[in-house]
Chains A and B, each alone.
Chain A
Amino acid sequence: DQQVKQNSPSLSVQEGRISILNCDYTNSMFDYFLWYKKYPAEGPTFLISISSIKDKNEDGRFTVFLNKSAKHLSLHIVPSQPGDSAVYFCAASDLRGSARQLTFGSGTQLTVLP
């Protein structure tokens, strides 16, 4: 039972254009969402997050949008750069007992073409 889904395993975008990565979730108890970027042979790196009380959070070239009614979030990268090529994981957080836990999607491989 996948509670966090990234339906696109891969995405290719031209340098300078916008990259849009999507993520859907099913658990309405999730109240905090994060995006991680991962290069081969390295650990995931935290990128940006959003609380469920907001619908948008922006940090430089990265913007995350949250649509709670649709249980959908997306990461926009603009303009895309070749160095953005990596696997992007969406994660959702909920409180279980006294502590929080993250559930990850399966990732989307982004390739930015020069």
Chain B
Amino acid sequence: DGGITQSPKYLFRKEGQNVTLSCEQNLNHDAMYWYRQDPGQGLRLIYYSQIVNDFQKGDIAEGYSVSREKKESFPLTVTSAQKNPTAFYLCASSATSGEMDEQFFGPGTRLTVL
């Protein structure tokens, strides 16, 4: 299960707190993605990054923020502005977003807001 890792596996947070989810890849991939997975909803794109120091909003970016300071890392911050943050979060990467490359997924982080 190497290649793309996420930590922690489980995360608990109190309402009103920001929390940062880690995503690291050693595949030398240019593109990285964050998805949110809710039961019966499939995978919805939060943010994506095609290159270092650049990222774009996905379909459900409100209440989230990201950074891409290194090629290997794409952390996601869930802010207190996110109304319903409890979900399973998946990070993915692909060689390039300009071609039809397979997206490789990390093992996910399950966030629970108490």
A and B associate in one complex: no
- Which residues in B have some Cβ–Cβ distance to A below 8 Å? none
- Which residues in A have some Cβ–Cβ distance to B below 8 Å? none
